[in-house]
Copies of this chain bind each other. A is one copy, B any other.
Amino acid sequence: MKLTKDTKILIIGLGVMGGSYAKALTDQGYKVSCITKEAADLRIGLEGGMIYKGSCEVEPELVSEAELIIFALYPAAFIGWIEKYQHLISPGTVITDVTGVKSGVVYKVQEMLRDDVEYIAAHPMAGRERSGVEYADPSVFRGANYIVTPTEKNSLEAIKLCKTLGEELGFLRISELAPEEHDRMIAFLSQLTHIIAVTLMNCNDSDGLEKYTGDSFRDLTRIAKINDRMWSELFLMNKEALLDEMDRFMEEFAEFRSYLAAEDGKRMREKMRSSSARRSLFDKPAK
């Protein structure tokens, strides 16, 4: 199956991510339908021109006519949906997702899925602090990474389709990683950073600090406004990799602390020079 403007695309779950997908694809000329729980979200999707039709029920016809289904649900809800409704999916359909962890989802879903439906997993590495379809905005995809995480069960055709989807959504860099590699990377780059932000926000509750705050503190805590239900699921599904990264961070932090306690300016400066040099690698590429 190839992605064309006639491909019937169904999005399951119209939140901030599902809505951004819908908007991006509709803007590109695709016909997008959706199934989502809340009538209010469906209305926003229809009135905002993100989708051309949809339902708050799992309507058999909406599911069976779809050729590409994109799941924009929390991990547990995604797995639960497949268990309950996969019999409604037509043979030959490709399904993909937006889940932020992979090993714990991909193998489970591929294991339980019918042989005549293919699930190719992907992680769009872009998001907003706010949740809800009213915050949907595909411009967050520009300059961002889209990672496809195939397994040996996937066909080259589906991998290609999924990469084309990433391009059509407007992502800058489309790449491929094994689910386990993806999860180690995400434990460090995304999950650890969220826990640091939450911790920093919680570790000092003195009154009035907000009066004196500067940009550094604001930058480090921007992501401390966090969707607690989604992230606790993601943390738990990636527990081992995340615990490893947390331990590495703690060890490094304790090392810096020991230099400060010993008034070892030389070693502190070495750490700062090393971080300065390494940070240059991470500068945003010019668009």
Contacts and interface: CB of A to CB of B under 8 A. Distances in A.
B216 A223 contact: yes
A185 to B, nearest CB: 5
A44 B247 CA distance: 47
Interface in A126-143: 126
Given A205-B278, A252-B203, A253-B250, A213 B189 contact: yes
A150 to B, nearest CB: 16
A226 B276 contact: yes
A200 B272 CA distance: 11
Classify chain A's interface size: 35 or more
A5 interface: no
A173 B210 CA distance: 12
A236 to B, nearest CB: 6
A114 B181 CA distance: 64
B219 A239 contact: no
Contacts of A214: 125-126, 144-145, 189-190
Interface of A: 125-126, 144-145, 147, 173, 175, 177, 185, 188-190, 192-206, 209-226, 228-229, 231-233, 235-236, 239, 242-243, 245-254, 256-257, 260-261, 263, 265, 268-269, 271-276, 278-282, 284
